Amino acid sequence: MLTIPTKFVIDSARKLNLSYWQISEGNNELQRQDEDISLDDSLQLLEDTINELKDNARTGDKIKVSMQSEPMARTGRKKGMNLRTFYVYLKEPEARNNQQIGNLGLMAENITLKLNMQHDKEKSELLKRIEALEEPEEESGNIEKAIEGITNILNHPYTSLVMGYFIKQGTTAPAPAINGVPSQDYSDLLERIEKIDPEFITMLNAIVIQAEKSPKGYFGYKNLLLIS
């Protein structure tokens, strides 16, 4: 048999406009309200009566609250009448109290477990961030590799030749010898290709990089161009 709190009884009666009621324990009627009074006054009287009964109740005592939207007639229930019956504990049984305490303990344990899991997760993420901040050597190594690559490009003979073309100051003096081989004047060729492709320097840079990576492949491309 389901027993419910007093507040639930009051709220349900208010929604259904149940202003008439009887309170009984077993076959004994303890109190009733059959007067034509307002709903608020009726429900306040019901709540006060239940609270008074609780003062002298023993553990496990419960009551039945029968409620109607109209006074009960001797002939029984009228057509269209709203009627509800509730069972209310005046004082909870010990076993029920112990069960509630056990449920609260289990709930507290679950909350603690969830909080600990959340704490561990946040701690792990924080440690990862700290480790990432404490690894500057890898970034430094990447920067050094990038600088080394740029230096190799700048030091390459072809790059020197092109840079010499752009920074020349009106002089037609031949470029210095590269690897002991006298350099030729490529300014005419550079001017011609610049007219066709203003961004030819990017192509020249790609050729230099490819030649450094795979000289064999570079000479293969070179032979194809010479044959065509």
**pLDDT exceeds 50 at position 61:** yes
Instruction: Say how far apart CA 62 and CA 46 lie, in whole Å.
Output: 15
**pLDDT exceeds 80 at position 148:** no
CATH number at residue 36: 3.30.1490
**pLDDT exceeds 50 at position 225:** yes
pLDDT of residue 99: 58
The answer to the question of residue 140 being in a domain is no
How far is the first Cα of the chain from the last one, in angstroms, to the nearest whole number?
100
Judgement on whether residues 83 and 130 belong to the same structural domain of the protein? no
Q: Is the separation of the CB atoms in 70 and 20 below 8 Å?
A: yes
Q: Is the separation of the CB atoms in 201 and 208 below 8 Å?
A: no
Judgement on whether residues 42 and 119 belong to the same structural domain of the protein? no
pLDDT of residue 97: 53
Domain boundaries, position 68: 6-92
Judgement on whether residues 34 and 86 belong to the same structural domain of the protein? yes
pLDDT band at 140 (very low <50, low <70, confident <90, very high): low
**pLDDT exceeds 50 at position 200:** yes
Judgement on whether residues 61 and 20 belong to the same structural domain of the protein? yes
**pLDDT exceeds 60 at position 170:** no
The answer to the question of residue 87 being in a domain is yes
Stated pTM of the model: 0.40
Judgement on whether residues 62 and 98 belong to the same structural domain of the protein? no
Q: Is 143 exposed, middle or buried (0-12, 13-18, 19+ CB in 10 A)?
A: exposed
Judgement on whether residues 78 and 31 belong to the same structural domain of the protein? yes
Q: What is the pLDDT of residues 13-44, one digit of tens each?
A: 999 999 999 999 988 999 999 999 999 999 99
Last residue of a domain, one of 107, 134, 161: 134
Q: Is the separation of the CB atoms in 70 and 47 below 8 Å?
A: no
Last residue of a domain, one of 82, 102, 134: 134
For range 46-60, the mean pLDDT:
91
Judgement on whether residues 72 and 121 belong to the same structural domain of the protein? no
* Residue of higher predicted confidence among 198 and 38: 38
Helix (H) or strand (E) holding 125: helix 94-133
Last residue of a domain, one of 111, 134, 157: 134
Number of domains in the chain: 3
* Residue of higher predicted confidence among 179 and 7: 7
pLDDT of residue 19: 93
For range 73-98, the mean pLDDT:
77
Instruction: Say how far apart CA 165 and CA 193 lie, in whole Å.
Output: 13
